Structure 1
Amino acid sequence: MLKGFLKKKSDVVELLSVAMVAAVGASLIATYLSESVDFFGEKSSLYLGLVLTSVVAIYLFKKWKPVEPVEEHIQGFFCYDPEVNFPVYVPRYRFSHNLSSYLESAFNENEELAKLWHIEPLSRVHEVFEGEIPSLKSVSLVREIVEYSVLDILSGQFLNYMHKEDNDHFKRYMHNDAEILALNNRFLNLFAKPMNERACFLDQDEGGELDGEHWIIAECNGALYQQFDFALPKNSTIKRIEGDTILIDTPRAKIKIISMFDGSNAYIAEKFSELYLGVEDFLAVSDHAFAIKVEVEFKPLSIISISDWDKYEWIDSFIKQLKEEFSQELFLKNINWEATLTMIRGISNWQKLATQKELNSSKSQQAEVDLEER
């Protein structure tokens, strides 16, 4: 995404250079024409110059394609067992592990979240689409976990670049800073809360060893602590602008992160539940889809900025990591599902043929025996 913008940026710089040369030429021609044609009297040069400048400005404006928003849409999924009211673990799919572990840890520590999940389970999602109820608490919880997972990845990206680059370029935020608290993500607020302020950890605190500054992640009595340090380029802001949308406004670009989940079902792949998850009855498990959309809008003046673009390489690496963690398409590609399904189908057909051949041979032998007995 950033590399593509920088490529277009160089094209625009080249275009501007050509335009400047053309402008000089146009100026010389205009001077000559104004002396030769005097329709507007003494101000003919001014009027002609304004017309030519306007034409060039409109042309350049239409060519400034780099400042148009760039979007990445990542489709993810998870499997859910309505009988136990909990997600089904999908091996080698990272978000599947996070979803289950985050829910379990939150429920172990926060009875309110557990009650919301059980009172309005995902198994009732059909009631939403049929108009019987407006929404489900469990749907909101899943959406917040998706969002928390995205923010956790983004936090890691910023901190990595802050450690590699000049720290003066970034501003650091803690979990209890007003900007982070205003995001109002319940899982972020719960997991990032200091261990020495949480009952689940207090009986394990020996001599103040649970100081959050010395821990990145910790588990105790089923509860989870994850350090959440955030960093943004200086003069940037982060805020929630809609229910599912977070806006990061930096000096060079505006980044919208939209985490979407409404309970909709998903189609993962042919015979996925039976063959990959080992589910005997595929109807016993429901598959659900969610999506993450990242919109990056580079600001118009960024087109003429020359330095410090290396400070924004985190945009590309952030999107790459999102795909690795959430993308259904990439997951199926990584496990070679199409090739595996083809191989399974071939083996199944070979076994059927072998069984049929053996059965035919047995029948033939039995017929010979019957013939000899006669």
Structure 2
Amino acid sequence: MSYRVVQKVSNSRSAFLEIVVAAIVIGICVGIIATFIYSTYEEKANVIVIGAITILIASTYVLSQKLGSSRHAQLTIKSFLLLSKDCKSVIQVPRYHYGEALYRYLTGAFEENSALKAQWLKEPMASGFKFDPQKGTGTFKRSASSKLVEEATEYYVLDTLSIHLTDYFNKPHYPSSMLNELTRKDVSGILLSNRFMELFTRSMEDRECFKDHGNSAGKVVTAFGKNGAIYQRFDLVLPIKSSVGRGKEREVIIETDNFIMSIKVTCSECNHNLPRGFRTII
């Protein structure tokens, strides 16, 4: 499976322009040929015109369907969290980057904000499933834990994307005049609805757990405080005139001149059996 989604969409746009140019050239040639055929078979002109129009409409439809689908792509990435039997604590899985990051995020957030920890303990994962054996029916309500996992995962995706784009655009052929570096103040719409991002990117001067952190001569990118508290400077490098915001379904939308990217995180709260070998590394 190819994960070069943006590249495929960009390539399809280039291919579309090439096809348009080729179509113009072909159209001119077809016009010359049509003139010759019409002058030769003038008595059957109506039949020839109707047939040509039918073929043109069919060809245009097929081409538009193919190009239209190639300019839209959807990529689904599945992941998992390993929880304790009571579903109240996350178990760290070595060498699983997402799992290790979520463990740090939840640990750091809970140590600094006891209200988040209280929500996690009050409504653990999968606590929203209720089954009535007499009626044989069940109900589901999203737990507070699943909402925390979704927000933490969204922050993980944005942080990973930020690191990747910083490295990607750190090349001589991308001058600063072509780029726009978004910081915490530029994404207030996301901050207000993602408690992990709001907490971890907040200035260390405004947080009790970093009061003993010494002054740094340079720009602090990442720092860790007492009991796992986390500070991470947020910056997202994008092409100039790009924007980041929320969509109608609370998804993150990154809009550039070349494409629009939508990022949505969903936690199913479904249980799965561990693959063979996991018990030996936990």
TM range (shorter): 0.7 to 0.9
For 2:33, the equivalent position in structure 1 comes to 29
Deviation for aligned residue 1:205: 4.6
Deviation for aligned residue 1:128: 8.5
1:219 partnered with 2:224: yes
Deviation for aligned residue 1:273: 4.5
User: How many angstroms apart in 1 are the aligned matches of 2:7 and 2:79?
Assistant: 25
For 1:285, the equivalent position in structure 2 comes to none
For 1:171, the equivalent position in structure 2 comes to 180
* Kept in 1: contact 2:190–2:246 (CA 8 A): no
What is the TM-score with the length of structure 1 in the denominator? 0.62
SS at match of 1:259: coil
Greater shift, 169-178 or 64-73, is seen at 64-73
For 2:159, the equivalent position in structure 1 comes to 152
User: How many angstroms apart in 1 are the aligned matches of 2:257 and 2:268?
Assistant: 33
Name the larger-Rg structure.
1
Q: Percent identity?
A: 24
1:230 partnered with 2:236: yes
* Kept in 1: contact 2:126–2:269 (CA 8 A): no
* Kept in 1: contact 2:87–2:125 (CA 8 A): no
For 2:110, the equivalent position in structure 1 comes to 107
* Kept in 1: contact 2:123–2:143 (CA 8 A): yes
User: How many angstroms apart in 1 are the aligned matches of 2:272 and 2:87?
Assistant: 20
Higher helix share: 1
Gaps of 5+ in 1: 41-45, 278-374
| Per-residue deviation, residues 144-174 of structure 1 (Å, max 9, x unmatched) | 1111100001111222233322222221111
Deviation for aligned residue 1:218: 0.8
- Distance change >3 Å, CA 230–CA 156, structure 1 → 2: same
Matches within 5 A, 1:113-132: 113-122=116-125, 124-127=127-130, 131=138
User: How many angstroms apart in 2 are the aligned matches of 1:9 and 1:243?
Assistant: 27
Deviation for aligned residue 1:231: 2.2
- Code of the residue aligned with 2:35 in structure 1: it is T
* Kept in 2: contact 1:248–1:256 (CA 8 A): yes
- Distance change >3 Å, CA 116–CA 67, structure 1 → 2: same
Gaps of 5+ in 2: none
1:142 partnered with 2:149: yes
**Alignment length (residue pairs):** 270
User: How many angstroms apart in 2 are the aligned matches of 1:128 and 1:154?
Assistant: 40
Determine which of 239, 249, 257 is the counterpart of 2:255: 249
| Per-residue deviation, residues 117-140 of structure 1 (Å, max 9, x unmatched) | 111122624339975562210110
RMSD across aligned positions (CA):
3.5
* Kept in 1: contact 2:178–2:240 (CA 8 A): yes
Bigger relative contact order, structure 1 or 2 (CA pairs below 8 A, ≥6 apart) = 1
1:263 partnered with 2:266: no
What is the TM-score with the length of structure 2 in the denominator? 0.79
Deviation for aligned residue 1:186: 0.7
